[in-house]
Amino acid sequence: MKVVICDDCIEDLQMIETLLEKYEKSALDIGFAVEKYLDATILYDRILAGEQADIYILDMIMSDRTGLDIGSLIRKAGSDGVIIYITSSDDYALEAYGVHAARYLLKPVSEENFFEAIDLARSYSRIYKEHLFLIKTKKGTISVSYSRIEYIENYSRTLNVCLDDGENIRSIFIRKSFDEEIREIAKDRNFLQVHKSFLINMKHVKRLEQGEIVMESGKRIPISKTRATDVKRTYLQFLSECYR
């Protein structure tokens, strides 16, 4: 789980980092990848460039860019990242809730209040991340989390949903077009339509080859000639963001 801390006071930044380390040691089921920023402008520019985090812990009053500036940008970027403000003034509490901040804590923050805020942020993050794809089958509607889906195929006017454990779920006859059926899940940054009949989860790609994608299951999925350039660019960008 990626956590960003931004505070232009180095002592406060170190205090928040220490609290986060104590929380991580007390919660054995979690690991944090922490990024720290003394300069809010650098963080602002990185969000503009498309970088996102699961949790943002922000000071409200900073030079150049305020915590509210950053919070507004996070929401404009379409991020579901959880925002926690830790600040020395309660003057901006109302504005904080305008960007759906989970908590607004006053300095000096207590360990108890900080831990409660992180507990809440983690619960919100799980809700946001576990989007579900609904599949209407002959046995009823089945819900599958996005993360489990390797790819979705348009197969004779049905959806063939292939999961990461090898299971295939076949829908009933679809009345809408394939593009309409996958419209919502295709908005997820991990998914990419590589062919008029295939939507893939880039997290389950083994390799990109000339004219096709090889999935972790070994399935070879064709890439439309008209999409080839965009597919290559999008996938390479996805990889660079995963491993930077």
Report pLDDT for 98.
84
Report pLDDT for 31.
81
114-151 per-position pLDDT tens digit: 999 999 888 877 655 567 898 999 988 898 888 899 99
Give the pLDDT band of residue 240 (cuts 50, 70, 90).
Answer: confident
Rounded to the nearest integer, the mean pLDDT of the chain is 91
* DSSP three-state, residue 86: strand
Report pLDDT for 143.
85
Report pLDDT for 126.
63
Report pLDDT for 1.
85
